[in-house]
């Protein structure tokens, strides 16, 4: 069984100072915790690394990575740069990147490969739009998103990463997939990965909060959460973490 994991995606919020303060608050919580990681904005990563320098139980990741390793690519940030400042993980294929930055399955697969080649562990984000769900295409869409990465790096490398199911219609909208809807997709992903994926951490993301976390975490193939807005308050985030610890 995969270990419980809770990841906080801070998106484009706060400053380096406020990010460091939030990280320190998370580190200060006593008691049992699941595996925890945080994803600050690029400019806040060094401050968060410094704030967590004595708290190795909280991992630090980036919200995006270039598919290029280096070169004349103005504004891009490579995986080597991220590992060099203390990142261990990176989000790849987040729905906001797919929607707002036109990142298709091929580019996401290239980013996934670049991340692993630089020593980062990718969290591969997959999910369908509202129209695709209404057309009952969600499993077909998610299969295509995962297959593109498998064809690029191989099944075992995908299983060695983390996968987050985040229905596009539930990200930042306040809408959440029902536990049954989420489990259907998580169970499908687990089956697609096969025996190699029995320990792969599968996260749910999409307006997850302290009110709905317990019912989602009770599902057999949901190993944790990729939390957006609710991760910006330490007390709320750690409330969700406690529910993950107590899930079964």
The whole domain housing 144 covers 5-245
Domain count, the chain: 1
What is d(CA 244, CA 222) in angstroms, rounded to the nearest whole number? 10
Q: Are 148 and 109 spatial neighbours (Cβ–Cβ below 8 Å)?
A: yes
Q: What is the pLDDT of residues 135-184, one digit of tens each?
A: 999 999 999 999 999 999 999 999 999 999 999 988 877 777 899 999 99
Helices (H), the chain: 16-27, 45-51, 79-84, 95-100, 105-117, 130-134, 138-153, 155-159, 179-193, 213-217, 234-245
What average pLDDT score do residues 10-36 get?
Answer: 95
Q: What is the pLDDT of residues 190-239, one digit of tens each?
A: 999 999 999 999 999 988 999 999 999 999 999 999 999 999 999 999 99
Largest Cα span, the chain = 50
Per DSSP, what are the bridge partners of residue 58?
Answer: 36
Chain mean pLDDT for the chain: 95
The answer to whether residue 1 scores a pLDDT higher than 80 is no
Q: Are 49 and 18 spatial neighbours (Cβ–Cβ below 8 Å)?
A: no
What is the CATH classification number for the domain harbouring 123?
Answer: 3.20.20.70
In the residue annotation, 196 being an active-site residue is answered as: no
User: With pLDDT > 70 as the criterion, what percentage of the chain qualifies?
Assistant: 99
In the residue annotation, 246 being an active-site residue is answered as: no
What average pLDDT score do residues 4-16 get?
Answer: 97
Q: Please give the radius of gyration of the chain, using alpha carbons only, rounded to the nearest integer.
A: 17
Catalytic residue among 94, 96, 110, 128: 94
What average pLDDT score do residues 28-50 get?
Answer: 95
Give the distance, in angstroms, between the CA of residue 70 and the centroid of all CA atoms in the same chain: 24
pLDDT in the model for residue 36? 97
What is d(CA 79, CA 89) in angstroms, rounded to the nearest whole number? 10
What is d(CA 30, CA 143) in angstroms, rounded to the nearest whole number? 40
167, two tokens: 């229905």
């Amino acid at each position: 069984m995969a270990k419980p994991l809770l990841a906080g995606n801070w998106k484009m919020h706060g400053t380096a100072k406020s990010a460091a303060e939030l990280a320190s608050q998370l580190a200060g919580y006593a008691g049992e915790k699941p595996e925890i990681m945080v994803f600050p904005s690029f400019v806040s990563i060094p401050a968060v690394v410094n704030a967590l320098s004595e708290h190795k139980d909280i991992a630090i990741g980036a919200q995006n990575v270039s598919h290029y390793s280096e070169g004349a690519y103005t504004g891009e940030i490579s995986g080597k740069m991220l590992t060099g400042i203390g990142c261990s993980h990176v989000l790849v294929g987040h729905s906001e990147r797919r929607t707002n930055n036109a990142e298709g399955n091929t580019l996401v697969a290239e980013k996934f490969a670049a991340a692993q080649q630089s020593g980062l562990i990718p969290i591969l984000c997959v999910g369908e739009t509202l129209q695709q769900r209404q057309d009952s295409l969600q499993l077909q869409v998610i299969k295509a998103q995962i297959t593109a990465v498998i064809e690029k790096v191989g099944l075992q490398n995908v299983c060695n990463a983390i996968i987050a199911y985040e229905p596009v219609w539930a990200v930042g909208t306040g809408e959440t997939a029902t536990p049954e809807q989420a489990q259907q997709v998580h169970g499908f992903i687990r089956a697609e990965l096969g025996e190699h994926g029995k320990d792969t951490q599968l996260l749910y993301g999409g307006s997850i909060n302290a009110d709905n976390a317990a019912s989602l975490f009770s599902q057999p193939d949901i190993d944790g959460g990729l939390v957006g807005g609710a991760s910006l308050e330490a007390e709320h985030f750690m409330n969700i973490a406690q529910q993950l610890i107590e899930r079964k």
